Structure 1
Amino acid sequence: MNTTHSLKYSPENAAALTQAWVDAMVVGMNLCPFAAPVVKQATIHYAIEMGDKDEAVIQAFLAELDRIQASEEDELATTLLVTPNALPDFEQYLDMLDILQGLLDRSGLGGVFQLASFHPNYQFAGVEADDITNWTNRSPFPSFHLIREGMMSRVLMNYGDPDEIPERNMALMRELGRDGLIARFPPFADYIRN
């Protein structure tokens, strides 16, 4: 799972591992309140881009943006673009996130779709790298989640206090600890720190 070894993954393996992570962590721990319905209804698309260059990531993002725009929400609610061989460095990943967000904004779709970010080395600003709370956004591979803004707004309207979600997720990570995370998703043992 360490991205320096990710070349051993085929697109099918990368998709399966990412889907297992979504099932075990994102849905299994309810880290994202709207994930369970899209997984249950099979309206989440896992797009795997095996290229290792920035241009390949950008082109894959634009293709997924076209795909989701051309689809009805009940067919394709959300897309997770997974890049097993690109952007192993978190700072490079953040630079790409800025580029993709810029493309989204310049296209006039900034209020229609939003991006969520996941990376094996995800680190919140002002938080130590080995802080367990970073695991709320750590994934097997660098990934960009393209979300329909309207869908998210509808789900969050029925959620008690959406502003508490990040704090609740961080508290969950602290409660689980390293061993609990590995028990929930064993592949984390490949690269989890103390």
Structure 2
Amino acid sequence: MTPQDLPTFHATVQQGMRRWLERAVIGLNLCPFAKAVHVKGQVHYVVSAARDPQALLVDLEFELKDLVAQDPQARDTTLLIAPHALQQFADFNDFLAEADAALLRLELDGIVQIASFHPQYRFAGTDVDDITNFTNRAPYPTLHLLREDSVDRAVAAFPEAGQIYEANMQTLEKLGHAGWDALDVGPTRGKIKP
């Protein structure tokens, strides 16, 4: 990929993530809080050029600081997308400890939290193709930076927030693999698109 190709590639990645957000996360109501920030244009999409964990950590720290510096009405949340890094879920999962350490280093623990999505996401104790894993599967390795205040407000407005996880598993079990594939929101069965 040449430097001239990067803007087109980044636009394609962002488009794929928006499609996933609209069709899967919002369309299946996997996160009842996502629609409001999406409709208001408060989701910031960042495509990282990082190809290794160290470079991604630099991008993560920048985006964490940048998020808290922004007006929440303009930018409530950030999706840091890493299409070139941590392609294997085990590596991505290991990286999450470094991401949490970055929150502590920047004194943002309790201010921002990080949710994780990956094309091969796998909950402990599940088979790789268990459909419930798809609640956290996105087209690319992604770190979702969320303001704690926004999460607290959303949870307060949604009294059954603790039941979201179970409802999501039921939704995907009803949908099945064929239904997920029909959404056309990214990789199927753990494969990452080039």
Flag whether TM exceeds 0.5 (same fold): yes
Distance 1:129 1:166 in 2: 18
Q: Which residue of 2 aligns with 1:15?
A: 14
5+ residue gaps in structure 1? 1-6
TM-fit CA distance, 1:51? 2.2
Distance 2:48 2:180 in 1: 27
Question: Cα–Cα, structure 1 residues 163 and 64, in superposed 2: closer, same or farther, change >3 Å?
Answer: same
TM-fit CA distance, 1:142? 0.3
Question: Cα–Cα, structure 1 residues 187 and 54, in superposed 2: closer, same or farther, change >3 Å?
Answer: closer
Distance 2:189 2:157 in 1: 37
Q: Which residue of 1 aligns with 2:142?
A: 143
Question: Cα–Cα, structure 1 residues 168 and 55, in superposed 2: closer, same or farther, change >3 Å?
Answer: same
Tell me the amino acid that sits aligned with residue 53 of structure 1: D
Instruction: Say which is worse superposed, 58-67 or 80-89, in terms of deviation.
Output: 58-67
SS of the residue corresponding to residue 116 of structure 2 reads strand
Does the 8 A contact of 2:16 with 2:185 survive in 1? no
Q: Which residue of 1 aligns with 2:105?
A: 106
Q: Which residue of 2 aligns with 1:3?
A: none
Does the 8 A contact of 2:82 with 2:141 survive in 1? yes
Q: Count matched residues.
A: 185
Does the 8 A contact of 2:119 with 2:187 survive in 1? no
Equivalent residues in 2 for 1:50-61 (5 A)?
A: 50-61=49-60
Distance 1:161 1:152 in 2: 14
Report sequence identity in percent: 35
SS of the residue corresponding to residue 10 of structure 1 reads helix
Does the 8 A contact of 2:120 with 2:190 survive in 1? no
Tell me the amino acid that sits aligned with residue 163 of structure 1: G
Tell me the amino acid that sits aligned with residue 112 of structure 2: F
Distance 1:15 1:75 in 2: 18
TM-fit CA distance, 1:191? 5.0
Equivalent residues in 2 for 1:18-167 (5 A)?
A: 18-167=17-166
TM-fit CA distance, 1:54? 1.4
5+ residue gaps in structure 2? 1-5
Distance 1:61 1:34 in 2: 23
Q: With structure 2 as the length reference, what TM-score do the two structures score?
A: 0.90
TM-fit CA distance, 1:187? 3.7
Tell me the amino acid that sits aligned with residue 38 of structure 2: V
Tell me the amino acid that sits aligned with residue 141 of structure 1: Y
Distance 2:152 2:138 in 1: 24
Distance 1:187 1:111 in 2: 32
What is the aligned-residue RMSD (CA, Å)?
A: 1.7
Instruction: Say which is worse superposed, 46-55 or 73-82, in terms of deviation.
Output: 46-55
Does the 8 A contact of 1:120 with 1:140 survive in 2? yes
Q: With structure 1 as the length reference, what TM-score do the two structures score?
A: 0.90
Q: Which residue of 1 aligns with 2:183?
A: 184
SS of the residue corresponding to residue 179 of structure 2 reads helix
Does the 8 A contact of 1:11 with 1:50 survive in 2? no
For residues 110-133 of structure 1, what are the alpha-carbon distances to aligned partners after superposition, in whole Å with 9 as ceiling and x for unaligned?
Answer: 101101000000000111111100
